[in-house]
Amino acid sequence: MSTDLETPLPTKFDVSDFDPRARRARSIRRLLLGTIALVAVLGLPWWVYPPIAVDIAAWALFAISVDLLLGFVGALSFGHAAFWGVSAYSAGLIAQNFGLPFPVAIVGGAIAAMIIAVPIGYLAVRRSGIYFAMVTLAFAQMIWFVANQWKDVTGGENGLQGVPKSFFGIELIETEAFYFYYVVVILIVAGAWLAWRIVNSPFGRVLVAIRDNSARTRALGYDVEKYKLIAFVLSAGIAGVAGGVFAISHGFVSLQELDWTTSGKVVLMTVLGGMGTLWGGPVGAAVIVLLEDRLATSGFDGIGIITGSIFILCVLLFRRGIWGTAKNLIDRARAGYAKRRS
Amino acid sequence: MIEIHGLSANYGEARVLNDVSLEVHQGEVVTLVGRNGAGKTTMLRSIMGLHRDLSGSISFDGKPIEKWSPNARARAGIGWVPDDRGIYASLTVAENLTLPPVVHKDAWSMEQIHATFPRMRERRSSMGTQLSGGEQQMLAIARVLRMGSRLLLLDEPSEGLAPVIVQRIGEIIREIKAQGVAVLLVEQNVKFASTVADRHYLLSQGRVVEQLSNDDFKAREVELLEHLGM
């Protein structure tokens, strides 16, 4: 039986492909969104404290990796801290022991996350819904336990201290978070681009089909488990890039990176920003990271109460999340405008 | 093309199919006729591999396939058109059509699809759920033909459609048959079944109670309608 992944190119048609005016409007829209995204990415360390900007970037990519599974495969991973954390430790250890430039350490961490994702994914993708969430959570807890016990390597509760930021001896980048940001943001954008490519590829269409109805997709000749596993491993790799960036940026890896609350936080960011949109995650990440930073510096320690309340309000009032709601409003306004004009 | 011997299927304790044997040859249209709950849909799901709790043998192209996964069966050339049509709501018509892999060299080309189903070209950029019931049915059939399925399992394609659309579906089934594709059709609409099929299996309480040629079937239409309670 042939089981290769050959897929005929599903052609995406759009009504606007045939209408020059609609096509122009669409390219203007894209240009506008692209410009906003570019300004946001480049301007972030000017507006916020640069180390916080790096945190936002890392969490943003982490949220994108979760959305890849949650929004496009319909699988809620409640153990994504495993990949973020494994990559954080691996990147930290690589940077510490081999003195390699940090982008290499981060890529190494992402590869480690993908390797660990293969057995976890192999078992988890056979289940769906709450069972999938529980299996991923269980594995993440196991990895947390191993990291806690394996003190010689991970430092146990003390964490991994003194992770260097070596970058070809360029001191400005190694010591100034502001310049460091512009190097790691390249990795973050590359990770986000990869997620976008996956979603907008024939492979991504099959993932959406699996989300819509997996039995049907199986009956149309696709090995559903294999597709889910590939998506899972890719998602873990993207989460790994994010975790590696976070570890290098802080120069320190703690057990917190593997904690289940980290898995919960990233799911919260994804849902808050709007799942199934890919760009909602970064919005959610920015909101949560900035909020935590403000609240922490103000000396208030009930951060969880505030983020939890925001989450509840969001789920009750804007089910599509921040990005999803905004997009919906814009679409409705456009439809109304088009109607009035015709 | 497909031969089924002594197939029994259960849902837990309940036996829904009992020692059923049937066969469909290349270029033949065969119906499974029976009341609600007679086991017709279970039969199709068993052939597709979606219903697992069963015994008996299923061979396709001479190969025993009862242990194969549903995706392996689809790639071997069995195309399932479920009663809910199975159109993906979040994909466009064109994406729905081109989603499955092409598994056979005799797969229908896009030109062939558009010639037989002109609506698919007109509505290619509509989302799957914006189609009418008849269009969804046609899309579901077109989709498995474009894959290159050589045995179509159609689950009540006439259900809930206007008479003129049902007629069009009938024409399409005859066209498919002329191309050498085999069709196993589950139907409750006896009139419609008699306009397209070569042979009929009468299913009652999980058993094949009778096998009829289309002529016999037409001759006994009134009696059959009574049996089906319609």
Ranges of each domain in chain A: 46-341
pLDDT tens across A277-335, in order? 888 999 999 999 999 888 888 877 778 888 888 888 888 888 888 888 888 888 888 77
pLDDT class of B73 with cuts at 50, 70, 90:
very high
B100 and A221: CB-CB below 8 Å?
yes
Tell me what pLDDT residue A143 has: 96
Task: Tell me the nearest-neighbour CA distance from B130 into chain A, angstroms.
Answer: 14
* Domain ranges (residues) in chain B: 2-228
For the cut 80, the answer to whether the pLDDT of residue A171 exceeds it is no
Of B72, B86, B99, the CB nearest to A1: B72
Check CB contact of B95 with chain A, cutoff 8 Å. Answer: yes
- The answer to whether B114 and B121 are in contact (CB under 8 A) is yes
Check CB contact of B129 with chain A, cutoff 8 Å. Answer: no
Nearest to B46 by CA among B78, B1, B75, B14: B78
- The dotted CATH code for B2-228 is 3.40.50.300
Task: Tell me the nearest-neighbour CA distance from B1 into chain A, angstroms.
Answer: 18
pLDDT tens across A105-119, in order? 999 999 999 999 999
Tell me what pLDDT residue A332 has: 84
CA distance B107 to B113: 10
Nearest to A245 by CA among A125, A108, A49, A114: A108
pLDDT class of A27 with cuts at 50, 70, 90:
confident
Interface probe for A, chosen from B50, B122, B125, B147 (most Cβ of A below 10 Å), is B125
CA distance B214 to B210: 12
In CATH, which of 1.20.272, 1.20.58, 1.10.3470, 1.25.40 is domain A46-341?
A: 1.10.3470
Tell me what percent of the residues of chain B surpass a pLDDT of 70: 99
Of A7, A208, A215, the CB nearest to B101: A7
Nearest to A195 by CA among A282, A310, A106: A282
B75 and A2: CB-CB below 8 Å?
yes
CA distance A158 to A233: 29
Starting at the edge strand found earlier in the chain, the sheet holding B78-81 runs B78-81, B151-155, B182-187, B29-34, B199-204, B207-213
Count of alpha carbons within 13 angstroms of residue B194, beta-carbon side: 15
Tell me what pLDDT residue A21 has: 73
Of B70, B74, B90, the CB nearest to A212: B90
Question: pTM to 2 decimals?
Answer: 0.86
For the cut 50, the answer to whether the pLDDT of residue B141 exceeds it is yes
pLDDT tens across A124-160, in order? 999 888 999 999 999 999 999 999 999 888 888 888 8
Q: Please state, rounded to an integer, the average pLDDT across all residues of chain A.
A: 88
A213 and B101: CB-CB below 8 Å?
no
B-chain residues near A215 (CB < 8 A): 50, 70
For the cut 90, the answer to whether the pLDDT of residue A196 exceeds it is yes
Task: Tell me the nearest-neighbour CA distance from A22 into chain B, angstroms.
Answer: 14
Task: Find the length of chain B.
Answer: 230
Query: Does the ipTM exceed 0.95?
Result: no
